[in-house]
């Protein structure tokens, strides 16, 4: 299977874009190891050849985003995420993962680090909700940055202090379907959202504002989690690129700017947050007074497997109440004994112990 996948690597040619101009938004294809190439390709083939994983029987069609970049003058009609807003915000989890996996090769192959730029990300109604409910007036939890290169004329807004529609939108971004999309896209399993939105939420940059090139913090100290991915969704209607505000992506040695991304409305930028994923918008914003660079910023994490070194991996431990029947007490005791056996008995021996217990149990006379 791996050799077959490698022989078909040419299918990824459309993901390998040269740097510069609009193609720089997608990033080029780095020199990945053979195993990495095979894994991404096998995942993509599996997604296309098994459309049932999406929860429907029709063939899987990649989002129209590809044609938007590859066919000049063709306007994309469908949003990347088919969110149903008729009764709250709903996205089928299996379909979301399928959409992510269909874009996984582009994401994983991108330079200077895994990333993707997706226009027309949200359906029009959902996008309008995000724009219309952006808090114009200051809120009690606002954080203002006037720190020069480390953030200037920047306002950060906590979602939980916003109105109901905005809160619901941010809760959707922390939901299982959105996590399925990100996991399918990045091949990072076990992603965890941040209910506290540390550093995230609505962001706003005023005229003259900037944020220097940087690599993000790596550990969420409140949750003790490792930061893995950023999602930025721009909310700037009628943005004039002469105003600047471009998001720059730099190589890991800080010698070459690999991409310059305009903050256009409904454009989403997603990227891995490694120790050298350098990005920022370092040039002062040249928008007119009262025109702001606005976005949604979302961060996602994974837990450490070191937890298995710190705590016993026991399942639920049952206890019978005083006065319970003898049958219930025996059953609760048996469940606890089984869990302790899993902790202390080597796996090979455990199989024999459990088989003996089953044999002894089946040999007991019926009562």
pLDDT in tens, 291-330: 999 999 999 999 988 877 777 777 788 888 999 999 999 8
Residues 82, 91: Cα–Cα separation, whole Å: 7
3-state helix, strand, coil in the chain (%, to 5): 40, 20, 40
Report for 46-50, 279-283, 348-352, 362-366: range of highest mean pLDDT: 279-283
In the chain, alpha helices (H):
2-7, 34-49, 65-70, 93-102, 104-109, 124-132, 164-173, 176-186, 307-310, 326-344, 347-363
Residues 331 and 236 in one domain: no
What does the pLDDT read at residue 149? 79
Give the pLDDT band of residue 73 (cuts 50, 70, 90): very low
Q: Supply the pLDDT for residue 364.
A: 57
Q: Residue 322's domain spans which residues?
A: 316-363
Which residue has 């269909």 as its token pair? Answer: 102
- Predicted confidence at residue 259, as pLDDT, reads 96
pLDDT for position 8: 35
A 10 A CB-CB count for 80 gives: 23
Predicted pLDDT at 339: 82
Calpha distance 299→183 (Å, rounded): 13
Based on the fold, state whether residues 281 and 345 are members of the same structural domain: no
Mean pLDDT of the chain: 80
Q: Within a domain: residue 311?
A: no
Which pLDDT score is estimated for 124? 96
Assess whether 328 and 294 both reside in one domain: no
pLDDT one-digit tens code per residue, 11-60: 333 333 333 333 333 333 333 444 444 544 444 444 433 333 333 333 33
Same domain flag for 241 and 334? no
Residue 203 lies in a domain: yes
Q: What is the domain-level CATH number for residue 16?
A: 2.60.120.620
Name the one residue in this structure whose structure tokens are 């969420």.
220
> In a 3-state reduction of DSSP, which class is residue 186?
helix
For residues 296 and 332, membership in a common domain is answered with no
Q: Contact 137/202 with Cβ under 8 angstroms? A: no
Residues 6+ apart with CB under 8 A from 177: 90, 91, 92, 93, 96
Give the residue from 302, 325, 355 where a domain finishes: 302
pLDDT value, residue 91: 97
144-167 tens-digit pLDDT: 767 777 777 888 899 999 999 999
Give pLDDT, residue 294: 96
Same domain, 257 and 358: no
In this predicted structure, what is the pLDDT of residue 1? Answer: 41
Entry pTM: 0.74
Residues whose CB falls within 8 Å of the CB of residue 355, separated by 6 or more in sequence, listed in order? none
What's the pLDDT tens digit per position in 226-247? 999 999 999 999 999 999 999 9
From 279, 302, 325, the end of a domain falls on 302
User: What is the pairing mode between strands 201-214 and 247-250?
Assistant: unpaired
Cα 329 from chain centroid (whole Å)? 46
Flag whether 253 is in a domain.
yes
Domain boundary residue, one of 258, 276, 302: 302
Same domain, 248 and 175: yes
Any domain includes 156 = yes
Token pair listed for 21 = 């101009």
Predicted pLDDT at 210 = 86
> Smallest Cα–Cα separation from 115: which of 287, 308, 251, 306?
251
Query: What's the confidence (pLDDT) of residue 123?
Result: 97
Is residue 190 scored above 80 in pLDDT? yes
Three-state DSSP class for 143? strand
* Percentage of the chain lying above the pLDDT 90 cut: 56
The reply to whether 32 falls in a domain is yes
First-to-last alpha carbon distance for the chain, in angstroms, is 55
Residue 187 counted as domain residue: yes
Shared domain check, 23 and 110: yes
Return the minimum-mean-pLDDT range out of 64-73, 188-197, 263-272, 311-320.
64-73
CB within 8 Å of 357: residues ≥ 6 apart: none
Domain count, the chain: 2
């Amino acid at each position: 299977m791996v050799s077959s996948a490698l022989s078909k690597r040419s299918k990824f040619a459309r993901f390998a874009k040269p740097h510069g101009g609009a193609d720089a938004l997608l990033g080029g294809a780095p020199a990945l190891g053979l195993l990495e190439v095979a894994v991404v390709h096998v995942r993509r083939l599996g997604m296309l050849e098994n459309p049932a994983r999406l929860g429907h029987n029709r063939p899987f069609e990649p989002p129209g985003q590809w044609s938007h970049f590859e066919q000049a003058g063709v306007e994309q009609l469908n949003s990347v995420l088919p969110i149903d807003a008729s009764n709250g915000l709903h996205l089928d989890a299996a379909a979301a993962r399928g959409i992510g996996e269909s874009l996984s090769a582009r994401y994983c192959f991108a330079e200077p680090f895994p990333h993707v730029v997706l226009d027309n990300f949200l359906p029009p109604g959902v996008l309008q909700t995000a724009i219309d409910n952006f808090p114009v007036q200051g809120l009690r939890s606002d954080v203002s940055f006037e720190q020069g290169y480390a953030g200037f004329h920047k306002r950060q807004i906590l979602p939980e202090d916003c109105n109901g529609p905005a809160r619901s939108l941010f809760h959707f971004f922390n939901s299982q379907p959105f996590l399925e999309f990100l996991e399918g896209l990045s091949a990072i399993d076990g992603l965890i959202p941040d209910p506290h939105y540390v550093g995230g939420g609505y962001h706003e940059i005023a005229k003259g504002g900037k944020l220097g090139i940087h690599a993000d913090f790596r550990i969420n100290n409140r949750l003790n989690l490792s930061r893995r991915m950023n999602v930025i969704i721009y909310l700037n209607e009628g943005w004039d690129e002469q105003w600047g505000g471009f998001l720059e992506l730099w190589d890991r040695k800080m010698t070459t700017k690999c991409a310059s991304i305009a903050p256009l409305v409904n454009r989403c930028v997603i990227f891995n947050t490694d120790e050298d994923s350098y990005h920022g918008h370092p040039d002062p914003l040249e928008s007119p007074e009262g025109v702001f660079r606005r976005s949604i910023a979302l961060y996602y994490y994974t837990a450490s497997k070191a937890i298995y070194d710190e705590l016993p991996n026991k399942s639920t431990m049952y206890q019978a109440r005083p006065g319970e029947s003898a049958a219930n007490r025996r059953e609760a005791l048996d469940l606890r004994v089984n869990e302790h056996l899993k902790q202390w008995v080597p796996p090979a021996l455990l199989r024999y112990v459990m088989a003996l217990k089953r044999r002894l149990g089946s040999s007991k006379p019926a009562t």
